[in-house]
Structure 1
Amino acid sequence: METASHPHGEMRRSDREITDRAEIDAILNAGKVMRIALVDGDTPFLVPIFYCYDGKSIYFHSAKSGSKIDIIKRNNKVCFEIGIKHGFIEDAMACDFEAKHKTVIGLGRAVFVKDEAEKIAALDRIVALFTDKHFEYPQTNLDRTAVLRIDIESIKGKKHGYA
């Protein structure tokens, strides 16, 4: 997985770039909602989803049908964004207000998880974001739930307003 090269080129404000992979991973682990951007022909599609990160890949779940799933079946390239600690930095001039944030943006490919153990592990990680309770998944629920893994190809982090 590469961190330096990105199709958007060099970060204009290099003083805001996060280059420490541990800090990028901390943002990935701290978030709960990710936005994924997909492309269907020449039409962009953006959707917020709950996710989990296992230190290597990002997982999310979905119904087995719908716009997001249909698009991924045609084009599994995704762009994802995870942001935490959003706010603003006030200034005396309106045009000098700035966003306070920690953000990760990356590119990858969405892969449908077929292995049931991997699927359950991902669902357990997603559920653990919201509760300490452990759940069993009835086979009927597993059968009608898609779990997808984003294999990360490139990733960048950016922050402003934080040390």
Structure 2
Amino acid sequence: MRRQDRKVTDIDEIKGILNSTRIIHLGMMDGDYPYVVPLHFGYEFIDEVLYIYVHGHHVGKKFDLIKENPHVFIEIDGSDEALVSGGDIPCKYSSVYSSVMGRGEAALLKTTDEKSHGLQVLLKHQTSREFAFTEAMVSSVEVVQIKVVDYTAKRRRQLEQDIIMPPLTK
């Protein structure tokens, strides 16, 4: 990471970034090219290791690619993006932002208990609620657990002297 001053190492601050959004960008290899999909996700830390859960219908390109090569890349944008004005100097424009990026190993969960746990983590993150899953519900989807083997978190904070531009309107 080039900008060490923006590196986030505090686990609570990293959880804050993860909690600020519901979408992950999951990168996989499709031959010679990356294939990236936005997905809803849930997460948990187990013994200081970050685990991400995603799901989808049984049939699909992402599952085929994961079966072929379980090495994936995650990218998560925090929801705090805002434009910082550079005034009359175009190169001084920037953004307030936060992100978590990292490499991981994806595995399709097999058992009903594993899949139910992954779905519970995902839905808790998405809705702040807990649900009961029937075996039919669980068997109707694939659930992927991504063990994030290394990651970085980064944040550019809003400073008092920053002039924040209003959000774009359509």
Q: Using structure 2 for the length normalisation, give the TM-score.
A: 0.81
Give the distance between the partners of 2:40 and 2:127, measured in 1 at CA: 14
Change (3 A) 1:99 1:162: same
Aligned residue number for residue 17 of structure 1? 7
SS at structure 2 position matched to 1:129: helix
The structure with the largest alpha-carbon Rg is 2
Corresponding residue to 1:78 among 66, 72, 76:
72
Give the whole-Å Cα distance in 2 for the aligned partners of 1:118 and 1:58: 13
- Contact 1:32–1:129 at 8 Å: present in 2 too? yes
Q: Aligned partner of 1:95: which letter? A: C
Whichever residue aligns with residue 52 of structure 2, its letter is: I
Q: 1:91: Cα distance to partner?
A: 1.7
Q: For residue 52 of structure 1, what is the aligned residue in structure 2?
A: 42
Could you say what secondary structure the match of 2:81 adopts? strand
* 1:123 aligned onto 2:123: no
Aligned equivalents of 1:57 and 1:135: distance in 2?
20
Which deviations, in whole Å up to 9, do the C-alpha atoms of 1:116-150 show, x marking residues without a partner? Answer: 22211221232233445554334333212001100
Give the drift of 1:160. Answer: 0.5
Return the alpha-carbon distance in structure 2 between the equivalents of residues 77 and 162 of structure 1: 35
CA distance in structure 2 between the partners assigned to 1:117 and 1:29 by the alignment: 25
- Asked if the contact 2:19/2:125 (under 8 Å) is kept, the reply is no
Which structure 1 residue ranges, 4+ long, deviate > 6 Å from structure 2?
none
Distance 1:115 1:162, change over 3 A: farther
Deviation per residue, 1:64-98 (Å, 9 max, x gap): 11111111110111100111111221121222110
Query: How much does 1:14 deviate?
Result: 1.1
Cα distance between partner residues in 1 of 2:37 and 2:27: 7
**What RMSD, in angstroms, separates the aligned Cα atoms of the two structures?**
1.9
Q: Is the aligned partner of 1:104 residue 2:100? A: yes
Give aligned-pair identity as a percent. Answer: 29
The Cα of 1:15 is off from its aligned counterpart by: 1.1
Gaps in structure 1 of 5+ consecutive residues = 1-10
TM-score scaled by structure 1? 0.84
Residue aligned with 1:95, SS: helix
User: Structure 2: which amino acid aligns with 1:47?
Assistant: V
Are the equivalent residues in 2 in contact too, given 1:29–1:52 (CA < 8 A)?
Answer: no
* Greater alpha carbon shift after TM alignment, 115-124 vs 53-62: 115-124
Q: Which residue of 1 aligns with 2:82?
A: 87
Identify unmatched segments of 5+ residues in structure 2. 160-170
